[in-house]
Amino acid sequence: MAEFDVVGVGLNATDTLLLLPQFPAYGGKVPFEDEILSPGGQVASALATCARLGLRAKYIGTVGDDERGRVQMESLRGTGINLDHVQVRKGCANQSAYILIDRTTGERTVLWRRPEALRIDPEEIAPEQITCARLLHIDGHDTPAVAHAAEIARRAGIPVTVDVDTIYPGFEQVLPNTDYLLASAEFPGRWTNERDPFKALERIQNEYGMRCAGMTLGAFGALARMEGRFFYSPGFVVDCVDSTGAGDVFHGAFCYAVIERLGMEEALDFSNAMAALNCTALGARGGIRTAAEARALMGRGERRSHPDYTR
């Protein structure tokens, strides 16, 4: 039996949330209502979701040794995630983000910075750090390292889920070892130069032979192709306080769905429900809920669909 259900290699960040009464016009000025320090980051928040859902999770990454790094480590320890292979980089600031949140809509604008000293290199990831789990989850940053991890997983027969939001140099080394791609809405079109999202996802899936190629659509849910057919899951309507981290929570929930062998339609609905619930609280991990709460929303929740993805 594997020691862990899921291992993740990728980003963490410590966010400063700035709550605004409304977003100012370009060149304008507005007072902010509150300032909150909050842990986040793509893979770290996805793993926090996995842990909340009862999975045994392990995180591989780097943090700075500043106050933001300490906030991040304290948060991760509190979730029960295994941190044996998290490196604390001396004399380095942790990745940080300043997130401007419009209180009228809950939408956010992100300004971020990651010092080069936080980069993780392929040789720092040993095979046994990956093969100890049933599933590998990665993002696109530090591309050589995540490509190395995905190759180890593929050789060991471990499925790989990928969260990617933009095109990284060398990312073509990652996709051949990807089983489940759930990218941002922009990524498939940019990667293929194909404006039709259905054609773009089909091209990616056929070219790289992955089991599932999909994209998250924010408030409008998610679209994915698997076994020759498309699945569209509309988003759930909630009282949105802060959309920060919704995509990360979606990916953590999707990892859970793969581990639990849910069908694709149920997997997308469950992941959308978890993402929507996270938007009802402040912070990237502020509203991570239980599987039971997600299923309750699935059973009664109002949905928000987009005509471009229903066919």
pLDDT, one tens digit per residue, over 17-67 is 999 999 999 999 999 999 999 999 999 999 999 999 999 999 999 999 999
Domain membership of residue 179 (yes or no) is yes
Domain membership of residue 173 (yes or no) is yes
Which CA distances in Å does 125 have to 121, 173, 292? 8, 16, 35
Whether 274 contacts 266, CB under 8 Å: no
pTM: 0.96
CA distance 20 to 181: 34
Phi (first) and psi of residue 112, to 5 degrees: -135, 160
Domain membership of residue 30 (yes or no) is no
Domain membership of residue 102 (yes or no) is no
pLDDT of residue 201: 98
> How many domains are contained in the chain?
1
Q: 133 in helix, strand or coil?
A: strand
CA distance 90 to 142: 19
CA distance 156 to 103: 46
Residue type, 268: L
Domain membership of residue 108 (yes or no) is no
Domain extent at residue 264: 4-12+42-91+121-309
Residues forming beta bridges with residue 108, ordered by sequence position: 101
CATH of residue 300's domain is 3.40.1190.20
pLDDT of residue 310: 84
Residues forming beta bridges with residue 37, ordered by sequence position: 16
Q: 137 in helix, strand or coil?
A: strand
CA distance 134 to 129: 12
Domain membership of residue 152 (yes or no) is yes
Nearest CA to 201 out of 120, 101, 311, 97 is that of 311
CA distance 265 to 262: 8
Domain membership of residue 257 (yes or no) is yes
Q: Give the pLDDT of the chain (311 residues) as one tens digit per residue.
A: 899 999 999 999 999 999 999 999 999 999 999 999 999 999 999 999 999 999 999 999 999 999 999 999 999 999 999 999 999 999 999 999 999 999 999 999 999 999 999 999 999 999 999 999 999 999 999 999 999 999 999 999 999 999 999 999 999 999 999 999 999 999 999 999 999 999 999 999 999 999 999 999 999 999 999 999 999 999 999 999 999 999 999 999 999 999 999 999 999 999 999 999 999 999 999 999 999 999 999 999 899 999 989 87
Domain membership of residue 209 (yes or no) is yes
